[in-house]
Structure 1
């Protein structure tokens, strides 16, 4: 009986995990292909031969990283992503606290009007943003690249829902002790936002790091390109497939490292947001 019970448990575990394993393989396969092709410069692409390399050549990585423009593109992307994360989280957390815990006339109407902005396709805002940034002289600048992206409605909504679950008694006790709104936000609200802020930081960083359309519109000189725009320019130059794949791998590595270190906060934030 014990053996039969053990077998049932084993088959049950296999039945539960096999679909997940298949989904993982399908998801990771394009990244495997990208990595394999990047270490086979100068060789024609063929299936399945190209997926089973007999040798590894890292010359494309050395050559691409040795180009000054590639380093500049990585620096531009890092600045764009880090500044975007900091400003989005700062603005969204302050606005979310106001909408969740501060009572002022028209709060509900204003909040739902802002949420309605989620229904507007991102592409429809490109031309107005371009015209505004152009008139202000922000084209081909860091501030012109970052500033139009800091008003993130999704981040505001998630933070507002999270803050709404914090007991009002904590805020009322702080007000009795003489604390103002900023002190309450800094000392009581902000420490409890760490899980959701870590989750949003990963999402916002990924969005900025992989953003292609807005940098393509807002940037004009090669020295200001982000990695996505830079790789597109390389592809337009009819470079080899290995070069494009190498650039894609280089672009992917920082994202993978950040997620690797932030995954515990990420899972915790998603779980707690779902519970609330």
Structure 2
């Protein structure tokens, strides 16, 4: 019993340490600019004035749209393309399959920073700099998603695919009506991770964007910080950046936990 209480206390301390920065961020974001705020003291009242001011005086609405498009389109395309590739690698036999698979695995060993400049040169040659095409397309190849889905599809019962084949279903029908529904838990997990990766991405949007109208929230937050605004205004932008991530996690947490428990 004592051991269980100690474990509970330890988990409570870890949870408090993890949550406290977000609480402090919200308190500072809602603090009036003309009153002392953390870490100098507790504000006497809370207000949304900082948030409304940032929305009206900065490019925050545009940055929010850019980040939403960047994350949402990437999630849909990555899940579809990765699941198709995973189905082929898991259930189809063709010459060079293993070589392609190991080549895909090898790309995970390459640091992402080493391909930033080649990717920038490619989108510059295509005229995609400072466009949605240049922002989204170079980030769609996701080897981790392909490998995770491949392992999941390989573990599916062979009897299911034999029954579908006997019914005369082709590859596309098998993929759309059998593989995707059975992969729903792992797809939900990948959706969370891919969304968070793109929503919080900083390096590539910083390189691919040239004008403020194409900034994402992370790049815009850096620009706002560089403008020497008050701490409450900066924390307001940070709160807007963090809130959608919490909402996505709240919506998909059931699928996420069920998949992690497998």
TM-score higher than 0.5 here? yes
The match for 2:11 is 20
CA RMSD of aligned residues (A): 1.5
Task: Give the alignment of 1:1-276 within 5 angstroms.
Answer: 8=1, 11-40=2-31, 41-43=33-35, 47=39, 49-50=40-41, 52-67=42-57, 69-272=59-262
Cα distance change, pair 225–46 in 1 and its aligned pair in 2 (3 A): closer
After superposing on structure 2, the runs of 4+ consecutive aligned residues of structure 1 that deviate more than 6 Å are: none
Q: Unpaired runs of 5+ in structure 2?
A: none
Select the structure of larger CA radius of gyration: 1
Indicate if the aligned counterparts of 1:140 and 1:219 stay in contact, CA closer than 8 A. Answer: yes
Name the TM-score, length of structure 1 as normaliser: 0.90
**1-side partners of 2:58 and 2:13: how far apart?**
41
Deviations, residues 44-67 of structure 1 (Å, cap 9, x unaligned): 5664x43x3322132101111234
Cα distance change, pair 187–46 in 1 and its aligned pair in 2 (3 A): closer
Cα distance change, pair 24–173 in 1 and its aligned pair in 2 (3 A): same
**2-side partners of 1:202 and 1:46: how far apart?**
32
Indicate if the aligned counterparts of 2:28 and 2:38 stay in contact, CA closer than 8 A. Answer: no
Q: Unpaired runs of 5+ in structure 1?
A: 1-7
Name the TM-score, length of structure 2 as normaliser: 0.95
Higher mean displacement: 13-22 or 194-203: 13-22
Indicate if the aligned counterparts of 1:42 and 1:242 stay in contact, CA closer than 8 A. Answer: no
